Amino acid sequence: MDPINARSRTDAAASSSPVVPVERRRRLSPAALAVTNQKVQPAYSPVVIMGIVRAADFLLLSLVGVALYLGYVARIDGFSLSYIAAILAVSASAVVCFQAADIYDIQVFRGPLRQMTRMISSWAFVFLLFICVSFFVKLGNSVSRLWLASFFFVGLAGLIAGRVLLRAMIRRWARDGRLERRTVIIGSDKNGENLINALKAQEDSDIEILGVFDDRNDSRALDTCAGTPKLGKVDDVLEFARRTRLDLVLFALPISAETRILSMLKKLWVLPVDIRLSAHTNQLRFRPRAYSYLGKVPTIDVVEAPITDWDLVMKWLFDRIFGGVILLLASPVMALVALAIKLDSPGPVLFRQKRFGFNNERIEVFKFRSLFHDQADPMAAKVVTKNDSRVTRVGRFIRKTSLDELPQLFNVVFKGNLSLVGPRPHAVQGKLQTRLFDEAVDGYFARHRVKPGITGWAQINGWRGEIDNEEKIQKRVEFDLYYIENWSVLFDLYILFRTPLALLKSENAY
């Protein structure tokens, strides 16, 4: 056999076979990999937990008061709305007093049962206040004393039982790491050591220090900082945060290191985490209200994670409720599109494609198949252009009308890795000519600080379809960042209702 011809045939076969793009992943140090390989549970928001406990207290006391009233007073004297109003007023006053007594705090929930004394005192104060008000408005004779006493003791028993159960739950969540703020320190030097020691000295702290990163790679950067390992350079934080849960980046650098701080912030602000500058060792002092505190350690807020706490709950409810309704309404249309695809060309109806999700996670999104099955492009390495021969007849119509995006409702409602509204999830290998999108636009990955969406602010403003020049990708990023910074439920509703009108302008969709 001729070895030259054999090599030629081998080279030809290799050149004709499709080249699978390889995703770029930054290599981490062994110490960083040891942290990222640990199993981490999703975090629970302390703000949301405290809000739920307040609502639960109000609901518990209201139900106890109403149940006792209906079971005893109403059967004798008949039903009266004034009793119901009084019960709701007492319950609301109790929540206000509990708040004033400072017992709605995660550290109080997980700590010893000393909170019980303050809770009992506050509950007793509310009843004394109610008795005083009843006396002055001359309602004392019309209020059942047996009901009042029962309401006090049964309500108190319910509150105590609820706190015992809550304490057990909070302690279990704390053991699982759901209430900890996973933190990395920037600055592996004396300032970093002082900051870590100050954070570790605090009792009942919710800060879990994962490690230290530094922008220097010489003797000035300590390999171990106050017993905490150095995990890598600042450039590694991006990849580190995409492999494990990271909640807070804390700079231990002095304010005088302005140039270094700004250089590092330019890299890190694209992450969906809080970024703070420690004021622990700074000589410059601001007014107390200028600081936010980690226990007793003063910090200056630099970047805040978008859509957190109750905003995140509202976003989740919006996606599930509106997404479910839209999915039901769109089901007949989706069935017709599926039938048309099946009749038009061989192959599956649905198509899965790798996209960027929240925090640069790789997710699979569902779409109706619009290309011929043997020319599928799951990594979207080649952009679909005008008159593209890979697009089927039905595919051309559903792409132009965006009907091919409807199966992404399954991602929203069932998988939860997409939102109804948000920055569009670009393909992992999406390119502008020969450059990947993140190489073409500074701050591109800041789009991924929130979940991607089926529709978005950029899309309804005309920036959809083929990306064949730098302005189009820059405008998309610009509009996406505006959406992230100005998010609200009303903004989502506005974008959702504007979407059908925007789809009528389909000159950029092929």
Whether the CB-CB separation of 242 and 273 falls below 8 Å is answered with no
* pLDDT confidence of residue 185: 94
Centroid of chain to Cα 168:
26
Whole-number mean pLDDT of the chain?
A: 85
Q: Which of 127, 25, 40 is nearest to 86 (CA)?
A: 127
Is the model more confident about 11 or about 134?
Answer: 134
* pLDDT confidence of residue 151: 93
- Per residue in 369-393, pLDDT tens? 988 877 776 666 566 667 777 888 8
78, pLDDT greater than 90: no
Report DSSP letters for 117-160, one per residue: HHHHHHHHHHHHHHHHHHHHTT-GGGS-HHHHHHHHHHHHHHHH
Q: Which of 62-76, 84-98, 344-358, 468-482 has the highest mean pLDDT?
A: 84-98
Residue 438 class from Cβ within 10 Å (0-12 exposed, 13-18 middle, 19+ buried)? Answer: buried
The rounded percent of the chain whose pLDDT value lies above 90 is 47
- Per residue in 281-308, pLDDT tens? 665 555 666 678 888 888 888 999 999 9
User: Rounded to a whole number, what is the distance in angstroms from the first to the last CA of the chain?
Assistant: 49
* pLDDT confidence of residue 507: 58
pLDDT bucket at 7, cuts 50 / 70 / 90: very low
Q: Which amino acid appears at position 77 of this protein?
A: D
For the chain, list the domains and their CATH numbers: 46-175 (no CATH), 180-305 (3.40.50.720), 310-503 (no CATH)
- Tokens at 63, concatenated: 């139900």
- Per residue in 404-454, pLDDT tens? 899 999 999 999 999 999 999 887 777 667 777 777 788 888 999 999 999
Q: Which of 480, 494, 503 is nearest to 422 (CA)?
A: 480
* pLDDT confidence of residue 496: 94
Is the model more confident about 212 or about 13?
Answer: 212
pLDDT bucket at 12, cuts 50 / 70 / 90: very low
* pLDDT confidence of residue 438: 75
H-helix or E-strand spanning residue 480: helix 470-485
